[in-house]
Amino acid sequence: MTNKKKRSFSYKNNREIAENLTIVMQLGLTMAGCIIFCFFIGLYLDKWLGTKGVFVTVFILLGVIGGANTAYRQILEITETDKKDESNGSNGND
């Protein structure tokens, strides 16, 4: 029998990977949440008004647009924070 070492994820050693994965998951869940939320609103309106798929289609498109807008703003916020951190860290004062 061979003695295999159990490898576990170390946050300290893989911090950058974990942070990037967190950002990607946050963006994906934001998009999915907006689309699903708008889908159910459209479904409810279609049942209430007796239409067949009109509001589902419209609200899914609104969910995609709203989710993309929210994800874009999150990306801008993250990149602005990174730029501020870099400029504060490299000001030359020791």
pLDDT in tens, 18-73: 888 999 999 999 999 999 999 999 999 999 999 999 999 999 999 999 999 999 99
pLDDT value of residue 42:
97
C-alpha separations of 34 from 1, 19, 28, 74, 78 in Å: 52, 23, 10, 14, 20
**Is the pLDDT confidence value at 84 over 60?**
yes
Is 70 exceeded by the pLDDT of residue 76? yes
What is the pLDDT, as a whole number, of residue 90?
58
Note whether 27 and 79 are within 8 A (CB).
no
Domain ranges of the chain: 53-85
What pLDDT sits at residue 12?
78
Q: What is the structure's pLDDT at 16?
A: 87
* CA–CA distance, 88 with 77 (Å, rounded to integer): 17
Per-residue model confidence (pLDDT) at position 2: 62
pLDDT at 6: 73
